[in-house]
Amino acid sequence: MDWFLRLKGEPNCPELTADFQRWLHRSDDHQRGWQYALRTWQLMGEAAPAHEHLWAGAARANVISSTRRRWRRPVMSAVAAIAATLFLVLAGPSLLIRLQADHITATGQNARVTLEDGTLIELGGDSAIKTEMTAAGRHVTLLSGEAFFDVAHNPARPFTVEAGGVTVLVVGTAFDVRLAGGETTVELERGVVQVSVEDARETSDFRLLPGEMAVVTASDGAVTRNIIQPDQVAAWRSGRIFVKDASISAVAEQLQRYHSAWIAVPDRKLAGLKVTGLYDLHDPDGALKALVEPYGGRVRTFSTYGRVLTQY
């Protein structure tokens, strides 16, 4: 499990991959342990079951000692296939985002981007955007993470931000957009924005005024609107995150962008519970503890590379 979390934390590190391969081939016990870790992670909902036949085949090869030599090559092929699949599952989405992004940040890194029209964009940790500037308009796609926009006023060139099926239209204003836990959150500091939500059934539109926020659930397009204090808009810029009626999974995903370890919430019931609070990004482990303790939850630590949130 420690190797699994290390590989997930650093999927593009050749030295780590080489160390893992040496460890894996050192003994049959290591191969069996690796297969057990993968099966365990599958049961926790963190690995797709589509390749279960590979794990089952590898397991049979390990328990039939009389045919161990004959099965060694298929076992190694299965392990290699699992490793390749694991790499695609863990690194694939990140690689796809990198191919699309014009600006990207690493875990725990914030950055400022100034567009050619004077618009200022502040990117949170582990975030990415794609920009498209034309004479007719200005368009930004939030690919991952969170960004605060201070848009230069220009009625002739509308400014739109797209994030998870939600489109925010402005001509000059300041607001924050966040993707986390299957939810898109928009917080307005000043000005007025028009928000459009698309789902399989219809498109709905509404306006936000200063001091208002909206959380849109991607699965059904449901909208939850709330009031937010001006100093709480994009609070991550000052090392905090403020959430209101957000799911634990969404908050955990936000904290993930500022934590070197990988964070999982395998319990769907716990993941879906709602919280409201202010959490310290300078102490992400303390924030995780504060996140789940009100529901009797615990933060389980797997070395320095993983945190699993459970309710018991």
Three-class DSSP category at 99: helix
* Helix 52-63 vs helix 68-100: crossing angle, to nearest 10: 150
Instruction: Place 254 in a pLDDT band, splitting at 50, 70 and 90.
Output: very high
CB–CB of 134/154 below 8 Å? Answer: no
Same fold, 102-230 and 239-312: no
Model confidence at 52, in pLDDT bands (50, 70, 90)?
Answer: very low
Percent of the chain with pLDDT over 70: 78
Q: 4 has which bridge partners?
A: none
pLDDT band for position 212 (cuts 50, 70, 90): very high
224 near 206, Cβ under 8 Å?
no
35 versus 273: which is more confidently predicted? 273
Q: How high does pLDDT run on average in the chain?
A: 82
Give the pLDDT score at 178: 95
Alpha-carbon distance of 188 to 204, in angstroms, equals 18
Separation CA 184–CA 190 (nearest Å): 19
Buried b (16+ CB within 10 A) or exposed e, 20-38: beeebeeeeebbbebbebb
Q: Which of the listed CATH numbers 3.55.50.30, 3.40.50.2000, 3.20.20.10, 3.10.20.90 matches domain 239-312?
A: 3.55.50.30
Place of tokens 């191969």: 31
For the chain, the domains span 2-100, 102-230, 239-312
Average pLDDT rounded to a whole number, residues 149-155: 95
User: Where do the DSSP E strands lie in 117-192?
Assistant: 120-123, 128-133, 138-144, 146-150, 159-163, 166-170, 174-180, 183-190
8 Å CB contact between 275 and 246: yes
User: How many degrees, rounded to 5, is the angle at CA 221 between CA 219 and CA 223?
Assistant: 125
Record the tokens describing residue 302, joined without a space.
């797997």
Q: CA triplet 16, 20, 25: central angle to 5 degrees? A: 155
Q: Amino acid letter at 115?
A: L
In the structure, what pLDDT confidence band is assigned to residue 24 with cuts at 50, 70 and 90? Answer: confident
Specify the DSSP class assigned to residue 295: G
pLDDT in tens, 68-95: 444 445 445 545 555 545 544 444 446 6
Tell me the DSSP string of 193-208. EEEEEE-SS-EEEEEE
Helices (H) and strands (E) in the chain, counts: 8, 19
Tell me the CATH architecture of domain 102-230: Sandwich (2.60)
pTM recorded for the entire structure: 0.69
Q: What would the two tokens of residue 298 be?
A: 């615990």
Q: pLDDT at residue 44 above 60?
A: no
The rounded distance, in Å, linking the Cα atoms of 208 and 193 is: 6
The residues near 271 (Cβ < 8 Å, ≥ 6 apart) are 181, 247, 248, 249, 252, 265
Most confidently modeled range among 18-22, 109-113, 228-232: 109-113
DSSP 68: H
Query: What is the bridge-based pairing of β-strands 212-217 and 223-227?
Result: antiparallel
